Structure 1
Amino acid sequence: MEELLDPVEEFFRYLKIERGLSENTLQAYKRDLIKYYEYLKEFRKIKNWHRVTRQDVMQFLYFLNDSGKSSATIARTLSTLRLFHSFLIREFDMKEDPSLHIETPKSKRHLPKVLSTNDVEKLLHIQYDDKFSLRNKAMLEVLYATGLRVTELIDLTLNDLHLTMGFIRCFGKGSKERIVPMGDIAKEAIELYLHDSRPKLVKRKQTEQVFVNHHGKPLSRQGFWKIIKQVAKEAGIEKEISPHTLRHSFATHLLENGADLRAVQEMLGHADISTTQIYTQVSKSRLKDIYKSHHPRA
């Protein structure tokens, strides 16, 4: 089965080195392709990529559907297969692309969950009186002030902070650099953390990451997840909350207050403005809820 595996490994190297994809995106591609490889090997008895037909691809997608995968997952997987088969044609002299002319299943676009401004106030109203709460306060203030992804937040280094100028630098998907402004409240929270909390956490360890755990090492995504869940619980917020909730809330609240869509797109680091436009739908949905709740004849 090396004939199947070798091009897959070459493809992963191509994605990492030439496309510069993030580790999270790479892992998503790997999951899709390994599942595809295993299906072809076990159920279609295929030992060479040249033998893969359009029917094989279709049967794999039916297999995913029968396994209970959502239309969004199937559409993403098909996108991965198209990219991979295009790579095979370019690098391994395959004559035909079996993934062509297969209709992508339409995925339901769920509106992102956001917090109300009152809930955001509750979440950010932390009693900052020790090294951990100072850190947590700073992280949450920065997230809501900038709309960073969680990975971007925990990857921030001291050199990425430009507090005097009121902005931070971060590297998003595909290692694309962007500059994001930050308000005074978030700036003050991070300055207090850097002065009173971080030195106690880091001690004598050498680390460039801004936010660290109780061992003085860079904070992980899982570590941040636990923190925001705990803070939300202590704040009495009953809504389901995830690390991405503050990013969604940042975008939605900006648009509700008249921010330009293109400016929000740039701050979020979205390559396509259609991704940002989903937040305008959230705003409309929230306006309808407010109308129904308060209009006497709604």
Structure 2
Amino acid sequence: MGGGRATSLGPVSDVELPEAFAQVLAAYERHLLSERDLTSHTVRAYLGDLTSLLEHAQRLGVDDLAELDLTVLRSWLAKQKTLGKARTTMARRATAARVFTAWLCRTGRIPSDPGAALLSPKMAKTLPPVLRADEARALLEPAPAPDEREESAPVALRDDAILELLYATGMRVGELCGLDLDDLDFDRRVVRVFGKGRKERTIPFGVPASEALRGWLALGRPELRAEGSGAALFLGVRGGRIDQRAVRSLVHRRMREVPGAPDIGPHGLRHSAATHLLEGGADLRSVQEVLGHASLATTQLYTHISSERLRAAYQQAHPRA
């Protein structure tokens, strides 16, 4: 996957950078695509941020990367704040700058790494709403079985299998859309997933997900399969690999059918799965492995949700709360 993507994504700004800056950005783009194996969307976001940084440096009179110091980096982030950029955007841009300057230093293009001392804006650690266990059960009730002759029958089987697998594994929507047929192992009831940076992990799934997947593969997928289906596990109505937009629409549509449930998408379903695992007694390290988090600190956010639920239940039920 990495080698096939190592092509230029085209210009990300109308401003013409000095040739030296443009050449460095081109080399960095190749590094992100071929060595770090990032998606074209992520690479374009990084390049947009760095183009903005280098344009700002140019306006400050910097025409040599060796002059790119911490003052320039902080000045650039301060400019983003005056433009009303959200904290999430500023945090992403700070990360992009740090990773870029570390690469510049590592490859000998600058003598020292100014980004090592650059701090990101503090982010509020919030997570989207999560389902209660009874709401999750209601969501996963199979759609009313359509007549086998109806065109909607294979789609209903596919949708049930998608929802079961998302909740069973907590995988990201992009990971689900990228699944192939040989990623499933029904004997061990596990699925192989390629996460961020193409990191591979294996996630178990339960009997309900297994049954839904078998139904889709036996009765649904053959009806939607087309010449261009390839090995994709989940197909769209035209036979191609299903896309993330279709999966998001599916989750939101089915959530509206659950009385009182929050309007969450696939990411909220992922959070629900993680929260229910922890509430059911799973240890934090195991949940980290299931979710594919690089840092345990990210997984620890879910303990906050569980604590808040416990506090709410206590206050509601205890006579001397």
Verify same fold: TM over 0.5.
Answer: yes
The answer to whether 1:82 aligns with 2:98 is yes
Mapped contact 1:111–1:281 kept (Cα < 8 A):
no
**Is the contact made by 2:166 and 2:266 (CA closer than 8 Å) also made in structure 1?**
no
Could you give the per-residue CA deviations for residues 228-254 of structure 1, whole angstroms, max 9, x where no partner exists?
A: 111212334551312111111111001
Contact 1:72 1:108 in 2 (8 A): no
2:299 aligned residue (256, 276, 280) = 276
Residue 40 of structure 1 is matched in structure 2 by: 57
Q: In the alignment, which residue of structure 1 is the partner of 2:125?
A: 109
- CA deviations on 1:112-170 (whole Å, 9 max, x unpaired) are 42111122122111324311111111000001011111111010000101112211111
Once the two structures are overlaid, the 10-residue window that deviates more, 182-191 or 66-75, is 66-75
Q: 1:177 to 1:100 in 2, by over 3 A?
A: closer
Q: RMSD of aligned C-alpha atoms?
A: 2.0
Aligned amino acid, residue 292 of structure 1: Q
**Given the alignment, which residue of 114, 131, 136 partners 1:98?**
114
Name the count of aligned residue pairs: 297
Is 1:249 paired with 2:272? yes
State the SS of the aligned residue for 1:297: coil
Q: List aligned pairs for 1:57-206, cutoff 5 A.
A: 57-91=73-107, 93-125=109-141, 126-129=143-146, 130-206=153-229
> Unpaired runs of 5+ in structure 1?
none
Structure 1 counterpart of 2:14 = none
Query: Could you tell me whether the CA contact under 8 Å between 2:255 and 2:263 is conserved in 1?
Result: no
Instruction: Give the letter for the 1:215 counterpart.
Output: R
Q: Which is worse superposed, 62-71 or 157-166?
A: 62-71
**Residue pair 2:177, 2:234 contacting (<8 A) in 1 also:** yes
- The structure 2 residue matched to 1:233, chosen from 237, 251, 256, is 256
What are the Cα deviations for residues 245-276 of structure 1, in whole angstroms up to 9, with x where unaligned?
Answer: 11111110011011121111111111221111
Q: RCO greater where, 1 or 2, for CA within 8 Å and sep 6 or more? A: 1
Tell me the CA shift for residue 49 of structure 1. Answer: 2.3
CA distance 1:51–1:247, shift in 2 (3 Å)? same
- Relative to structure 1, the CA distance from residue 206 to residue 109 in structure 2 (aligned partners, 3 Å threshold; closer, same or farther) is closer
Report the Cα distance in structure 1 between the residues aligned to 2:210 and 2:113, rounded to whole angstroms: 52
The change in CA–CA distance for 1:274 and 1:128 in structure 2 (over 3 A counts) is: farther
Change (3 A) 1:58 1:200: same
Helix, strand or coil at the partner of 1:99: helix
Deviation string 1:198-223 (CA, Å, 9 cap, x unpaired) is: 11111444421111111000111112
Once residues 84 and 20 of structure 1 are traced to their aligned partners in structure 2, the CA distance between those partners, rounded to angstroms, is 16
TM-score by length of 1: 0.92
Q: Choose 148-157 or 85-94, whichever is displaced more.
A: 85-94
Distance (Å, rounded) in 2 between the aligned partners of 1:238 and 1:116: 8
Aligned-residue offset at 1:45: 5.0
The corresponding residue for 2:5 is none
Q: 2:88 and 2:227 mapped to 1: Cα distance?
A: 47
Q: CA deviation at 1:71?
A: 3.4
Structure 1 counterpart of 2:46: 29
> What is the distance in 2 between the residues matched to 1:38 and 1:216?
44
Separation in 1, partners of 2:81, 2:293 = 29
- Distance in 1 between the 2:314 and 2:48 partners? 44
Q: Which whole-Å CA distance do the structure 2 matches of 1:69 and 1:38 have between them?
A: 17
Aligned to 1:285: 308
Residue identity matched to 1:108:
A
Question: What secondary structure, in the 3-state scheme, does the structure 1 residue paired with 2:114 have?
Answer: coil
**SS, match of residue 165 in structure 1:** coil
Residue 34 of structure 2, aligned match among 17, 25, 41? 17
Q: Is the 8 A contact 1:168 1:180 kept in 2?
A: yes
SS in 1 for 2:57: helix
What is the letter of the counterpart of residue 30 of structure 1? Answer: L
Specify every segment of 5 or more residues in structure 2 that has no aligned partner in the other structure, as ranges: 1-16, 147-152
Once residues 107 and 296 of structure 2 are traced to their aligned partners in structure 1, the CA distance between those partners, rounded to angstroms, is 32
Identical-pair percentage: 36
Q: Do the aligned partners of 1:114 and 1:248 also contact (CA within 8 Å) in 2?
A: yes
The code of the aligned residue for 1:33 comes to L
100-109 or 267-276: bigger deviation? 100-109
State the SS of the aligned residue for 2:237. coil
